[in-house]
């Protein structure tokens, strides 16, 4: 049965256990944690402590691999290798915490850079994905590659169903460990219907991020009409990805949360 929950954001400025109390008070049963944001919370639990907490609150758990200051598609080999290492550490933590998946961004490169940089960055992103997916299979925690929003300044490799499919193609691991995160807000701002990704990937969608925007930017506004998505997308985990705790409340207030 699918799980419905929310992601913590560093702007919430709250400990993990406090947010778990909020989630369960709302009737939610899933938590997603951005690995790099955990560094900003007071008294951050260890992975084993997180496993105990999620058991205590009867919620499932996913991780989001670092992405703010990291780029596995960097044309700088040192940055690429360091980013892959952080993804592997996130997979280790997810395994130790009993998490069901790790969400992953596919990397980016500025459009202003010359063609040789674009080519190398794309190859580096591909190599990074292979290394991360191979490690995911070894530790038996799926990675779920997210459809990123389009950007005026950066080329991203996963903004369309076709590009995402090409990015995932022929990676030499079992598809059980290389899945997709469908972000419905990212699809909208990129000019695509979220249903296009469902048609392309179906049961390969492991995680679904829930938020919306006005089509002009990745605003992460509350998606109050989320029920159709939950009923249609064959994901294991549905995650409200909001900018404030109040926005999480806005999404679920007055709605039957049984999934």
User: What is the DSSP track for 109-141?
Assistant: EETTS-HHHHHHHHHHHHHHHHHHHHHHHHHT-
Query: Which domains are delineated in the chain?
Result: 3-252 (3.20.20.150)
pLDDT classification of 113: cutoffs 50, 70, 90: very high
Mean pLDDT computed over every residue of the chain: 94
Residue 256's contacts (CB-CB under 8 Å, 6 or more residues apart) are none
pLDDT of amino acid 40: 75
**Tokens of residue 97, six digits:** 């915490």
Q: Where are the beta strands (DSSP E) in the chain?
A: 3-7, 30-34, 60-64, 102-104, 108-110, 143-146, 154-156, 178-183, 205-210, 237-240
pLDDT of amino acid 39: 78
Question: How far is it, in rounded angstroms, from Cα 198 to Cα 221?
Answer: 22
**Digit-coded pLDDT (tens) for 193-208:** 999 999 999 999 999 9
**Digit-coded pLDDT (tens) for 13-38:** 889 999 999 999 999 999 999 998 88
What is the rounded average pLDDT of the residues 147-153? 96
pLDDT classification of 42: cutoffs 50, 70, 90: confident
pLDDT classification of 119: cutoffs 50, 70, 90: very high
Query: What percent of the chain lies above the pLDDT cut of 90?
Result: 88
What is the rounded average pLDDT of the residues 166-194? 97
What is the rounded average pLDDT of the residues 165-192? 97
The backbone torsions φ and ψ at residue 55, rounded to the nearest 5 degrees and listed phi first, read -65, -45
pLDDT at 144 over 80: yes
């Amino acid at each position: 049965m699918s799980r419905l929950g929310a992601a913590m954001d560093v702007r919430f400025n709250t400990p993990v256990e406090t947010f778990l109390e909020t989630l369960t008070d709302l009737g939610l049963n899933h938590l997603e944690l951005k690995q790099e944001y955990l560094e900003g919370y007071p008294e951050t639990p260890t992975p084993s402590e997180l496993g105990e907490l999620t058991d205590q609150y009867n919620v499932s758990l996913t991780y989001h691999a670092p992405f703010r200051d990291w780029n596995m598609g960097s044309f700088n080999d040192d940055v690429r290798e360091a980013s892959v290492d952080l993804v592997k550490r996130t997979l280790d933590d997810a395994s130790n915490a009993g998490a069901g998946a790790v969400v992953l961004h596919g990397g980016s490169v500025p459009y202003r850079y010359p063609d040789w940089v674009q080519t190398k960055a794309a190859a580096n992103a591909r190599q990074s994905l292979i290394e991360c997916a191979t490690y995911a299979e070894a530790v038996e925690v799926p990675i779920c590659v997210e459809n990123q929003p389009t950007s005026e300044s950066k080329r991203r490799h996963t903004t369309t169903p076709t590009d995402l499919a090409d990015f995932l193609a022929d990676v030499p691991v079992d598809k059980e460990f290389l899945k997709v995160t469908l972000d419905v807000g990212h699809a909208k701002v990129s000019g695509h219907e979220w249903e296009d990704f469902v048609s392309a990937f179906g049961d390969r969608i492991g995680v679904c991020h829930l938020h919306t925007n006005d089509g002009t930017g990745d605003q992460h506004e509350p998606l109050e009409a989320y029920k159709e998505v939950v009923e249609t997308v064959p994901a294991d985990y549905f995650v409200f990805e909001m900018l404030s705790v109040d926005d999480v409340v806005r999404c679920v207030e007055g709605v039957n949360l049984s999934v």
